[in-house]
Structures are given as structure tokens and as C-alpha cells.
């Protein structure tokens, strides 16, 4: 009998590897400072190199089972993408300014159609660009999602959310996550994601109820209350009432923002806990919504009031927390991943990469 | 034993770096080292067996990122990875025949860093100050037909919707038309470039005003005519509006605004939201300063035309003083957020050049 338990499912108990962030905010700050200064003196051109270096630092220090991730995007490709994006924006602005209204009347519906059908393409290419340029232990990730899948999650699903006054929002977010993860591969091993809906709907209802309560409370206090409160506290001056209102509004805005984290955290955890990687690997995600809200809001506030000076520090703090609450449940060792094809780095491949980078530039530019 | 032979003489292999080797397209790795020679690199297995000697031009070395493993990619697809940054950098510098790069996230000495920071402050300021001149150069190079197209479409937009027909007496209208022709003839504008025309109109909000459209249309509102006490006051206003057209202020404002937008995109980019708010306020204030600059330019042109006709260049400012008599001293000084210079300053502009 004891033999049976030994060879049963218990013997396939996965090995738990926690994700860790091994970088530090000081180094990241120095990288940001140098790349920012170089970007300024080169009129923004160097920022393409800076963006890649910063991302490589963040990803390389995001480690699991002793190895970090790497990012391989070519700065030149990013740069071309940005030029194209700026060209597109300038083109649009010029045509809006200089074209006569009657011609613009003909062009704008065609342009709207172009945006409608072009947007999923750009989102897809941008996603694919980032995923394909990411690697772990010498194996590149791949993204194999198609256009109509992207069209569904970027155009049709948001439209359905709109006509159902947001009631199917959790379904839409789940659909989006599934579109992404069911199309990501690590080499030849595919990821797969099944999303249970109940945790998402539970979080959605809690978020909505708290959000409504907060809003009702705010309006009940702020408008009629501001005068009663003023007389109750015996402060007559309108300046003090103004200040009181501003403080109340600030508290309301922060509380509402914190409440929103209940849903986003549930989405993140549900995705993480249900994600599988071919070969019997799975993941864990244990982010605490209020802890995340505190980290993001407090660090974000500090970054804002310092005009972005503390943004690198805030970025690292948030990233470190998210990484630390993530785990890989590996089925055995991680030596068996195989690249989809040995990338020869040929010209055709980089040409293709350039197209994707351009799509990415357009996306981030708009 | 080969392996012990290798480890026995570490001193003789100063350019050997240990790390791990991933097989091509595989996540499996083995312990390995590489040894750099001048212009070459060679893979060494854990057993001490040497691989083929590769020229540095055959391998790819990833750009270093502080604290992260250095990577070297062989043409066959194998990837060597080392956590020993210092040794890797020293060996690579030896192989490439150069001195060691500064390590650390800044990668720059204090002198270079200060120079860079100084340049990063001075360059945007310089570009910001030089931009209006460049933008004006661009605007000057553009054909007048663009001004005409913008003006014509703007006029169509406003005419009938914003403007009502003028209620001035026919006698007054013909007098104004005669006055306008007199001023047009005294202006420096070539009638082949722009066809100047006067249109009289009435409007509820804008009524005590006059506007110039870039195609040469000047719209004079009834209220201004009613408040004027003599011909020179209106002549000065019309000459001022012609000044706007002569110096192509609409187009220059548009090109300068585009240049400003470009600079903000380049130097502020997508940073923290508060900085963007500040930048937007800065852009607004700068555009207003351009507007005041153009008003002064139009005032100077007005005075030039008026003097040529033997009319009083200061009459226009007297009319404006009467118009703004309710705001007393506030209208006399330029404000940071005003579109026009203060009346005291405008009096100086039209008075400048009088003997
Ligand atoms: Zn003016």
C-alpha cells in the first residue's frame, strides 16, 4: 500500500519556484538618468536605445529558478517605428488643418474605418513584437494569435460591453487574457488558460458596490454637507470650505482608485493561477489588492509630485511587489524547452521584425 | 587529467571567463568557459577541451546591462552566458584591443556626466529660443495660396453663421471703403499675392472689434465704427489688420504652434502626468507670447502706413483706450496670459519712429 501512495499523483508534486526581482531602484534610477540625458541631447533619438536598456534591466532581473528573462528588440527598429508614428500623427494634423471641410467630410469616414480595422492589426503586431523579442533560458517566446481574434477582443467585445452597460466587463477581460495567453508559446511549448468566471464576477460586484457606495457618500457629503459641515465646525470662510471640499474630493478619488484594484488584482491572480505551460507546468499568483493599491497609489503620487523624478523608483517598487507574488510550479526541471526554430538572424527575419516594430511605434505613439 | 591541468594554472589564462553554455535552441545548459585572444574567442568545455577558435566578427556580443549576465552568441546558435561582468569586460577589452569600459549604471565619469547634464539643459533651451525663427522660415517658404485657402474656408465657416449684415448707413459704408482703398494703396502688399477686401458686419459678442483673415479679408464690426470719433482711429485699426495679413501671422502662428508641439513631444514625451500638465500650460503661455509679438508687429506696420498717409498713428490706441475705459489700468500693462500687449506698450509701438 505504501508503494501505491509513492507512485501516485503525490510523486508528481511540482517544484515551486518563486519569481524574484534581483535589481535595485538605485541602479535603475542611474540607468534612467543616463538614458534620459542622452535622449535629451539627441532630440529623443537615443530613447529607443534607452527603452530597450531599461526593459532589459527590468526583465533580466525578473528571475525564476535562477534565470532571468531577456529582451532582444533592436533599438533601430523601435526608432523607425517611432518616426513612422510621428509621421502619421503629423500627417493627420496637417490634413485636419489644411484640407477644406468638404474633402475632409469624405475622408473622415474612410479614416474611421481604417482605424477600426487597423487597430486590431496594430495591437496584434505590437503584442507579437514584444512577445517574440522576449526569451527565457535561451528560448524565445512566440505569439501565434490571429487577426480576427484580435479584432474580437479589441473591437467587438468592448462594443458588447458598451451595449450591456458594462455588465459583461469581467467576461471581456477574461476573453482578452485568454486571447493573449492561449497564443503565447515558449519555444514549442504552448501556454493555455481557462478562466473560471466566478472569482472575476465576485470581484467585479464588490468593486462596483463599493464604488457606488463611495460615490453616493461623496455626493451626499460634498454638496449639501459642505455647508452643514462648515456651520457645524463653525468655520465661516469660503476658503476653508473650498479646502474641505478639495480634501474630500482627493480622498474620494484615492478611495475609488483603490477600489478599482480589487478587480484588476482578481483578474491578475485568476489568470496566474489558471495558466498552464505545456509539459505540466503551472503558475501561482497571490497579489493582495489593497497592498498593491497602496504601493501603486503612494509611489505613483510621489512620482507625480516630483515631476517624474521618482518614477524609476516607483516603477521598480511596483514591479518588485508583483514579481514577488508570482510563482512557477515546475514539473521537473526546465531543461526540456526547445526553440520553435533555430533563429538564424537572417535578413528576412529582421525585415519582418522591423514591420512589427513599426506597428509597435505607431501603437505607443498614439 | 585535462580539467585539473586547466585549473592548475589560472594565472596563465587571464582572459578566460567561466559561465554556462546553452545548446542551440535549447533551455538546457552545461558549465563552460570561453577564452579570449586578440580578435578571437574560443569555447572551452568543463573537461578542458577547446572548441574551434572563432573570430570576434563571427560572434555576437549582447550590449551589456548593469548586473545582468553577459552573453555571447556563436554562429551555430549556442549561447554562452557569464555572471562575471568584470572578468568578461576585461577579457573582451583585451580581445578588442581597447581599454576597459566604465562599469556601473551611469557608465560615465563625473566630468562627462556634468557636461552631459549641462548640455541636456542648454540644448532644449536653445532649441526653444531658436524655434520661432525656424518656424517663420518654414512659413515664409510656403506659398501664399495656403494662406488664401485657410482664409477662404474660415470665412465660409463664419459668414452667415457668426456675422450678421452690417447696419451702417450706405454713406458711412462708402466712406469706409474709400478709406480702406487709401490704406491698401499705402501698404507694402502686392495685389497679385493677396486680394485685400473689406467686409462690414455686425455681431453680438465681437461687435467692437475687427479681424483679419489670412486670405486678405478684413471684417470690421459696426460697434467699432460707432465708437470711433474720427477717421484716423478706424484707419489705424484697418492698417493694423493689414499688418497681420502682410506678415502672415495666422500661418506663422500655426507653424510655430506645430513646432512647439514637436518640441514638447521630443523633450517631455510620455512622462509623469503633472509634467505634461505643466508643459501644456507652458505651451499656452508661449503661444500667447507669440500672439503679443505679432500684435506689436501689426502695430508697427499700422504706424508705418499711417505716417505715409500723413495720418495720426496713435489714433488707434486712443480708440482702444476708449473701448477699454472700464478696465482702467489693467489694460495698460501686458499680462502673462493676455493675447495683446498692454495699451501703454502699444502706444510705444505706434509712437516709435516718430521724429
Ligand atoms: Zn491685432
Residue A166, domain member (yes or no): no
Is it the case that residue A113 has pLDDT exceeding 80?
yes
Is it the case that residue A46 has pLDDT exceeding 70?
yes
Q: What's the sign of the alpha-carbon dihedral B112, B114, B118, B120?
A: positive
What is the three-class DSSP state of B215?
coil
For residue A5, what pLDDT is reported? 40
Chain A residue numbers with beta carbons less than 8 Å from the beta carbon of B153 are 100-101
For residue B299, what pLDDT is reported? 94
Transcribe B100-165 into DSSP letters: PPP-SSS-S-HHHHHHHHHHHHHHHHHHHHHHHHHHHHHHHHS-HHHHHHHHHHHHHHHTTTT-EE
- Per-residue confidence band for A224, with pLDDT thresholds at 50, 70 and 90: low
Q: Is A265 on the interface with B (CB under 8 A)?
A: no
For residue A197, what pLDDT is reported? 93
| Range in A353-357, B43-47, B151-155, B337-341 the model is least confident about | A353-357
Chain B residue numbers with beta carbons less than 8 Å from the beta carbon of A137 are 22, 27, 29
Question: What separation in angstroms does the CA of A228 have from each of A241, A242, A251, A252?
Answer: 10, 14, 19, 19
If one counts every other C-beta atom within 10 angstroms of the C-beta of residue A129, the result is 25
Nearest to B153 among A26, A101, A337 (CB): A101
For residue B130, what pLDDT is reported? 94
Residues in chain A: 366
Mean per-residue pLDDT, A276-305:
92
Backbone angles phi, psi at B58, to 5 degrees: -85, -25
Residue A277, domain member (yes or no): yes
- Per-residue confidence band for A362, with pLDDT thresholds at 50, 70 and 90: very low
Ligand 1 midpoint to CA B339 (Å): 9
Ligand 1 midpoint to CA A292 (Å): 55
Smallest Cα distance from B119 to chain A, Å = 7
Between positions 185 and 204 of A, the ones with CB within 8 A of B are 187
State whether A57 and B66 contact (CB < 8 Å).
Answer: yes
Is it the case that residue A10 has pLDDT exceeding 80?
no
Is it the case that residue B343 has pLDDT exceeding 80?
yes
- Per-residue confidence band for A333, with pLDDT thresholds at 50, 70 and 90: confident
- Per-residue confidence band for B274, with pLDDT thresholds at 50, 70 and 90: confident
Q: Is B71 on the interface with A (CB under 8 A)?
A: yes
| Range in A281-295, B137-151, B244-258 the model is least confident about | B137-151
Q: Is B157 on the interface with A (CB under 8 A)?
A: yes
Mean per-residue pLDDT, B49-62:
88
State whether A137 and B66 contact (CB < 8 Å).
Answer: no
Between positions 207 and 266 of B, the ones with CB within 8 A of A are 254, 258, 265-266
Is it the case that residue A42 has pLDDT exceeding 70?
yes
Mean per-residue pLDDT, A43-50:
88
Smallest Cα distance from A39 to chain B, Å = 8
For residue A229, what pLDDT is reported? 58
A309 or A181: which leads in pLDDT: A181
Mean per-residue pLDDT, B62-89:
91
Q: Is A254 on the interface with B (CB under 8 A)?
A: no
pLDDT tens digit sequence for A132-146: 888 999 999 988 889
- CATH code matching the domain that covers B3-95, chosen among 1.10.150, 2.30.29, 1.25.40, 2.60.40: 2.30.29
Cell of A71: 529582451
Report d(CA A173, CA A193) in Å as an integer: 13
Domain locations in chain B? 3-95, 123-351
Strand order in the sheet with B210-212: B164-165, B197-202, B217-221, B210-212
Between positions 115 and 134 of B, the ones with CB within 8 A of A are 116-117, 119-120, 123-124, 127
With contact defined as beta carbons under 8 Å apart, do B99 and B61 qualify? no
Smallest Cα distance from B150 to chain A, Å = 7
Mean per-residue pLDDT, B292-307:
94
Nearest to B274 among A43, A44, A304 (CB): A304
State whether A139 and B27 contact (CB < 8 Å).
Answer: yes
Residue A180, domain member (yes or no): no
Q: Which domain holds residue A309?
A: 1-22+189-336
Q: Which range, A120-124, A151-155, B266-270, B341-345, has the best average confidence (pLDDT)?
A: A151-155
Backbone angles phi, psi at B194, to 5 degrees: -130, 135
Is it the case that residue A330 has pLDDT exceeding 70?
yes
Residue A272, domain member (yes or no): yes
3-state secondary structure chain A: CHHHHHHCHHHHCCEEEECEECCCHHHHHHHHHHHHHHHHHCCCCCHHHHHHHHHHHHHHCEEECCEEEEECCCHHHHHHHHHHHHHHHHHHHHHHHHCCHHHHHHHHHHHHHHHHHHHHHHHHHHHHHHHHCEEECCEEEEECCCHHHHHHHHHHHHHHHHHCCCCCHHHHHHHHHHHHHCCEEECCEEEEECCCCHHHHHHHHHHHHHHHHHHHHHHHHHHHHHHHHHHHCCCCCHHHHHHHHHHHHHHHHHHHHHHHHHHHHHHHHHHHHHEEECCCEEEEECCCHHHHHHHHHHHHHHHHHCCCCCHHHHHHHHHHHHHHCEEEEECCCCCCCECCCCCCCCHHHHHHHHHHHHHHHHHHHC
What is the three-class DSSP state of B47?
coil
Q: Is B177 on the interface with A (CB under 8 A)?
A: no
Bridge partners, residue A190, by sequence:
A185
With contact defined as beta carbons under 8 Å apart, do B230 and B220 qualify? no
Question: What separation in angstroms does the CA of B73 have from each of A326, B38, B39, B55, B79?
Answer: 30, 18, 15, 12, 5
For residue A334, what pLDDT is reported? 83
If phi > 0 it is left, if psi is from -120 to 50 it is alpha, else beta; for residue A40 that is: alpha
Is it the case that residue B105 has pLDDT exceeding 90?
no
Question: What separation in angstroms does the CA of A131 have from each of A72, A179, A230, A322?
Answer: 10, 14, 56, 19
| Range in A10-19, A40-49, B76-85 the model is least confident about | A10-19
Mean per-residue pLDDT, B50-62:
88
Cell of B46: 568543463
Q: Is A28 on the interface with B (CB under 8 A)?
A: yes
Residue in B with minimal Cα distance to A300: B272
Report d(CA A85, CA A366) in Å as an integer: 7
- Per-residue confidence band for A352, with pLDDT thresholds at 50, 70 and 90: very low
A6 or A170: which leads in pLDDT: A170
Give the largest Cα separation in chain B, rounded. 117
With contact defined as beta carbons under 8 Å apart, do B292 and B338 qualify? yes
Chain B residue numbers with beta carbons less than 8 Å from the beta carbon of A101 are 153, 157
Mean per-residue pLDDT, B79-93:
91
Chain B residue numbers with beta carbons less than 8 Å from the beta carbon of A366 are none
With contact defined as beta carbons under 8 Å apart, do A179 and A152 qualify? yes
Report d(CA B165, CA B351) in Å as an integer: 35
What is the three-class DSSP state of B63?
coil
pLDDT tens digit sequence for A59-106: 999 999 999 999 988 888 888 887 877 787 778 877 777 777 777 778
| Range in A19-23, A106-110, A198-202, A210-214 the model is least confident about | A106-110
State whether A44 and B266 contact (CB < 8 Å).
Answer: yes
Mean per-residue pLDDT, B30-53:
87
Per DSSP, B1 falls in state: -
Q: Which range, A60-64, A108-112, A358-362, has the best average confidence (pLDDT)?
A: A60-64
Chain B residue numbers with beta carbons less than 8 Å from the beta carbon of A17 are none
Report d(CA A184, CA A189) in Å as an integer: 9
With contact defined as beta carbons under 8 Å apart, do A56 and A71 qualify? yes
With contact defined as beta carbons under 8 Å apart, do A195 and A201 qualify? no
For residue B273, what pLDDT is reported? 64
Is it the case that residue A109 has pLDDT exceeding 90?
no
Residue A210, domain member (yes or no): yes
Bridge partners, residue A71, by sequence:
A134
Residue A226, domain member (yes or no): yes
Report d(CA A143, CA A150) in Å as an integer: 12
Per DSSP, B340 falls in state: S
What is the three-class DSSP state of B243?
helix
- Interface predicted TM-score (ipTM) of this complex, two decimals: 0.78
Residue A241, domain member (yes or no): yes
Contacts of B191 (CB under 8 A, 6+ apart): B184
Report d(CA A29, CA A36) in Å as an integer: 10
For residue A353, what pLDDT is reported? 45
For residue B8, what pLDDT is reported? 42
Report d(CA A35, CA A47) in Å as an integer: 7
Nearest to B105 among A30, A60, A307 (CB): A30
| Range in A225-229, A245-249, A270-274, A329-333 the model is least confident about | A225-229
State whether A57 and B77 contact (CB < 8 Å).
Answer: no
When the pLDDT of each residue in chain A is averaged and rounded to a whole number, the result is 83
Residue in B with minimal Cα distance to A82: B266
| Range in A60-74, A163-177, A213-227, A306-320 the model is least confident about | A213-227
Mean per-residue pLDDT, B296-313:
93
Ligand 1 midpoint to CA B127 (Å): 27
State whether B68 and A68 contact (CB < 8 Å).
Answer: yes
Is it the case that residue A191 has pLDDT exceeding 70?
yes
Q: Is B338 exposed, middle or buried (0-12, 13-18, 19+ CB in 10 A)?
A: middle
Mean per-residue pLDDT, B51-58:
88
Nearest to A190 by CA among A145, A126, A240: A145
For residue A298, what pLDDT is reported? 93
Report d(CA B18, CA B56) in Å as an integer: 18
Residue % of chain B over a pLDDT of 90: 42
Bridge partners, residue A184, by sequence:
A143
Q: Is A65 on the interface with B (CB under 8 A)?
A: no
Mean per-residue pLDDT, A128-157:
90
Q: Is A37 on the interface with B (CB under 8 A)?
A: yes
Q: Which range, A97-101, A360-364, B87-91, B206-210, has the best average confidence (pLDDT)?
A: B87-91
For residue B107, what pLDDT is reported? 79
State whether A41 and B149 contact (CB < 8 Å).
Answer: no
Between positions 158 and 177 of A, the ones with CB within 8 A of B are none
Bridge partners, residue A70, by sequence:
A135
Chain B residue numbers with beta carbons less than 8 Å from the beta carbon of A253 are none
Amino acid at each position: 500500500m505504501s508503494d501505491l501512495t509513492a507512485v501516485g499523483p503525490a510523486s508528481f508534486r511540482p517544484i515551486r519556484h518563486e519569481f524574484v526581482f534581483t535589481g535595485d531602484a538605485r541602479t535603475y534610477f542611474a540607468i534612467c538618468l543616463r538614458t534620459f540625458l542622452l535622449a535629451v541631447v539627441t532630440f529623443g533619438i537615443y530613447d529607443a536605445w534607452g527603452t530597450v536598456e531599461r526593459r532589459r534591466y527590468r526583465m533580466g532581473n525578473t528571475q525564476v529558478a535562477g534565470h532571468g528573462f531577456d529582451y532582444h528588440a533592436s533599438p533601430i527598429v523601435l526608432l523607425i517605428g517611432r518616426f513612422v508614428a510621428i509621421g502619421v500623427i503629423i500627417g493627420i494634423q496637417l490634413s485636419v488643418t489644411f484640407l477644406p471641410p468638404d474633402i475632409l467630410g469624405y475622408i473622415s469616414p474612410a479614416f474611421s474605418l481604417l482605424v477600426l480595422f487597423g487597430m486590431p492589426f496594430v495591437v496584434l503586431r505590437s503584442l507579437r513584437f514584444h512577445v517574440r523579442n522576449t526569451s527565457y533560458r535561451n528560448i524565445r517566446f512566440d505569439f501565434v494569435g490571429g487577426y480576427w481574434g484580435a479584432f474580437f477582443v479589441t473591437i467587438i467585445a468592448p462594443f458588447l460591453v458598451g451595449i450591456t452597460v458594462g455588465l459583461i466587463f469581467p467576461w471581456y477581460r477574461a476573453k482578452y487574457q485568454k486571447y493573449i495567453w492561449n497564443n503565447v508559446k515558449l519555444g514549442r511549448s504552448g501556454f493555455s488558460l481557462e478562466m473560471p468566471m466566478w472569482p472575476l464576477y465576485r470581484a467585479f460586484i464588490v468593486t462596483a458596490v463599493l464604488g457606488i457606495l463611495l460615490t453616493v457618500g461623496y455626493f451626499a457629503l460634498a454638496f449639501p454637507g459642505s455647508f452643514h459641515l462648515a456651520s457645524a465646525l463653525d468655520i465661516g470662510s469660503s476658503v476653508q470650505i473650498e479646502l474641505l471640499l478639495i480634501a474630500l474630493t482627493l480622498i474620494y478619488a484615492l478611495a475609488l482608485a483603490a477600489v478599482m484594484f480589487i478587480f484588476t488584482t482578481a483578474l491578475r491572480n485568476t489568470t496566474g493561477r489558471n495558466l498552464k505551460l505545456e509539459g505540466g507546468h503551472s503558475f501561482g499568483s497571490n497579489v493582495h489588492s489593497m497592498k498593491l493599491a497602496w504601493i501603486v497609489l503612494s509611489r505613483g503620487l510621489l512620482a507625480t509630485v516630483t515631476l517624474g523624478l521618482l518614477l524609476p523608483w516607483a516603477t521598480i517598487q511596483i514591479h518588485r511587489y508583483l514579481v514577488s507574488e508570482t510563482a512557477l510550479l515546475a514539473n521537473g526541471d526546465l531543461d526540456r524547452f526547445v526553440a520553435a526554430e533555430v533563429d538564424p538572424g537572417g535578413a528576412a527575419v529582421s525585415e519582418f521584425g522591423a514591420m512589427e516594430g513599426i506597428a509597435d511605434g505607431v501603437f505607443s505613439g498614439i | 587529467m585535462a580539467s585539473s591541468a586547466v585549473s592548475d594554472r589560472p594565472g596563465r589564462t587571464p582572459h578566460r571567463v567561466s559561465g554556462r553554455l546553452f545548446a542551440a535552441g535549447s533551455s538546457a545548459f552545461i558549465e563552460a568557459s570561453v577564452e579570449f585572444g586578440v580578435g578571437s574567442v574560443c569555447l572551452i568545455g568543463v573537461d578542458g577541451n577547446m572548441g574551434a577558435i572563432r573570430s570576434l566578427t563571427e560572434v555576437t556580443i549582447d550590449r551589456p546591462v548593469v548586473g545582468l549576465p553577459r552573453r555571447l552568441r556563436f554562429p551555430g546558435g549556442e549561447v554562452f552566458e557569464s555572471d562575471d561582468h568584470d572578468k568578461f569586460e576585461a577579457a573582451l577589452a583585451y580581445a578588442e584591443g581597447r581599454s576597459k569600459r566604465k562599469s556601473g549604471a551611469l557608465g560615465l565619469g563625473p566630468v562627462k556626466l556634468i557636461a552631459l547634464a549641462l548640455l541636456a539643459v542648454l540644448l532644449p533651451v536653445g532649441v526653444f529660443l531658436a524655434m520661432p525663427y525656424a518656424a517663420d522660415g518654414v512659413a515664409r517658404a510656403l506659398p501664399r495660396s495656403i494662406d488664401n485657402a485657410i482664409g477662404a474656408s474660415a470665412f465660409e465657416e463664419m459668414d452667415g453663421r457668426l456675422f450678421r449684415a452690417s447696419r451702417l448707413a450706405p454713406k458711412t459704408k462708402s466712406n469706409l471703403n474709400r478709406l480702406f482703398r487709401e490704406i491698401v494703396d499705402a501698404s507694402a502688399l502686392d495685389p497679385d499675392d493677396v486680394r485685400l477686401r473689406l467686409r462690414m458686419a455686425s455681431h453680438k459678442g465681437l461687435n467692437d472689434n475687427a479681424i483679419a483673415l489670412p486670405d486678405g479679408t478684413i471684417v470690421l464690426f459696426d460697434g467699432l465704427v460707432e465708437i470711433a470719433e474720427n477717421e484716423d482711429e478706424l484707419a489705424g485699426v484697418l492698417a493694423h489688420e493689414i499688418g497681420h495679413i502682410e506678415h502672415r501671422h495666422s500661418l506663422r502662428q500655426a507653424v510655430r504652434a506645430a513646432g512647439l508641439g514637436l518640441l514638447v513631444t521630443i523633450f517631455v514625451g510620455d512622462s509623469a502626468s503633472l509634467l505634461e500638465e505643466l508643459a501644456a500650460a507652458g505651451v499656452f503661455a508661449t503661444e500667447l507670447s507669440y500672439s503679443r509679438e505679432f500684435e506689436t508687429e501689426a502695430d508697427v506696420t499700422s504706424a508705418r502706413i499711417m505716417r505715409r498717409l500723413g495720418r495720426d498713428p496713435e489714433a488707434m490706441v486712443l480708440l482702444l483706450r476708449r473701448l477699454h475705459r472700464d478696465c482702467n489700468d489693467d489694460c495698460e500693462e501686458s499680462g502673462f496670459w493676455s493675447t495683446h500687449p498692454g495699451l501703454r506698450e502699444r502706444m510705444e509701438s505706434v509712437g516709435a519712429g516718430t521724429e
